Amino acid sequence: MTGAPWLALVLLSSTPPAPGLPLRMREAEALPVPALAARLALAPAPISRGTGALDGDERRRRDDAVRALLEADALATESPETAEPALVAALRAFAERAPLVDDPEAQQARLFALLSLARTYLVLDRREDASAVIDEALRVARGETLPVEQFGPDLVALRDELRDAGPRTGRLEVECSVPCRIWVDERAFDPEAPRLREGTARVWVEASEPGRAVRRESVRIDAGATTTLRYEVEAPALEPGPAPGSRPSPPPRSSRRLLPRWVSRLGLGLGIGAAAGGGVLIAVDHRCPDLSDPRTTPCPRILDTDAGGWVLVGLGGAVAITSAVILALDERRARRSR
């Protein structure tokens, strides 16, 4: 037997896994393999998790999947009839966590669960199903030695029978529109070594960037053939930058005036007038009211306007200069904004 498509479908069930499997499950009549495969479907696709270490929730989900395998494996030594659905459910939950279970401990737990399931099928006199499971174990092991000696001579003989038939391999090529990561049968896939054992492979492709849609698909690997899978997601939109060699345009200059033109002009006129008035007061200081010189013409009173004149000159000059500067700046700004 060269493949186990029914097992691949079972491991991609849409039934959500429980946090941990009970040690005792309700015994039920085993469903025929085609009926069991038809009842199970692909689980809804999650989103990519990105790179980096597992967070707390991911670590819990990974540990739950491994614990379920270990508990179902232990159950296989007590009751084969009860262990069979428990092992299938645990393997299915494991397959739904591909990026989280790609470590030696989890992979070893999955391999032992597969061998326990194969031995269970032999005990239940379901040799065809046992052969399919061993074929699945050979595929996920990817050349590593299966520890079948721990499971009895019947399983060793079955392993030897399938292994001696010779490895029939095909190629898998995955084309990604963005940087991506690939898992095949819950193990990291190396595009530089794309040869896989003939049969049905579970492929998990996700973008390296978190938050992108994941593609999960069960694909057929045929001996001597190449299977191509394309993963397309929209890359994040980038804001267009300046053209090469061009300078960014300066921000538009504000055309708002500091003061209305008439206010600036009025201030300029009043300032000049005040300064001129101050100059007159300074000029008539110490003169008679009729502006005659008291040194030549006696007069009853002499004007004392010196201090007020200087005040007017100072204030008027300041107002005139300030108004002139503001007017000049406003006119220049108005010309530049045109």
- Contact (Cβ atoms closer than 8 angstroms) between residue 116 and residue 151: yes
Mean pLDDT is lowest, of 40-54, 153-167, 173-187, 268-282, for 40-54
Return the higher-pLDDT residue of 318 and 253: 318
- Helix (H) or strand (E) segment spanning residue 143: none
What pLDDT is recorded for position 36? 33
The pLDDT confidence band at residue 121, using thresholds 50, 70 and 90, is very high
- Whole-angstrom CA distances from 308 to 280, 282, 314 are 10, 8, 10
- Percentage of the chain with pLDDT > 90? 21
What pLDDT is recorded for position 235? 56
pLDDT tens for each residue of 52-99: 678 888 889 889 999 999 998 888 888 888 889 999 999 998 988 888
Q: What are phi and psi of 170, to 5 degrees?
A: -130, 180
- Contact (Cβ atoms closer than 8 angstroms) between residue 85 and residue 125: no
Q: Is residue 15 scored above 60 in pLDDT?
A: no
What pLDDT is recorded for position 18? 35
pTM score: 0.55
The pLDDT confidence band at residue 252, using thresholds 50, 70 and 90, is low
The pLDDT confidence band at residue 26, using thresholds 50, 70 and 90, is very low
Q: How far apart are CA 171 and CA 86, in angstroms?
A: 33
Across the chain, mean pLDDT equals 78
What pLDDT is recorded for position 21? 32
Query: Strand order of the sheet with strand 199-207?
Result: 187-188, 180-184, 199-207, 215-221
The pLDDT confidence band at residue 336, using thresholds 50, 70 and 90, is confident
Q: Is residue 114 scored above 50 in pLDDT?
A: yes
Q: How far apart are CA 206 and CA 199, in angstroms?
A: 22
What pLDDT is recorded for position 266? 87
What pLDDT is recorded for position 58? 85
Return the higher-pLDDT residue of 205 and 235: 205
The pLDDT confidence band at residue 100, using thresholds 50, 70 and 90, is confident
What pLDDT is recorded for position 281? 84
pLDDT tens for each residue of 207-251: 888 888 888 889 999 988 999 989 887 655 555 555 555 565 665
DSSP three-state, residue 81: helix
Closest CA to 99 of 44, 64, 48: 48
Q: Is residue 11 scored above 50 in pLDDT?
A: no
What pLDDT is recorded for position 22? 32
Sign of the dihedral through C-alpha 275, 278, 282, 287:
positive
Other CB atoms within a 10 A radius of the CB of residue 263 amount to 15
Question: Most confidently modeled of 11-15, 86-90, 167-171, 272-276?
Answer: 86-90
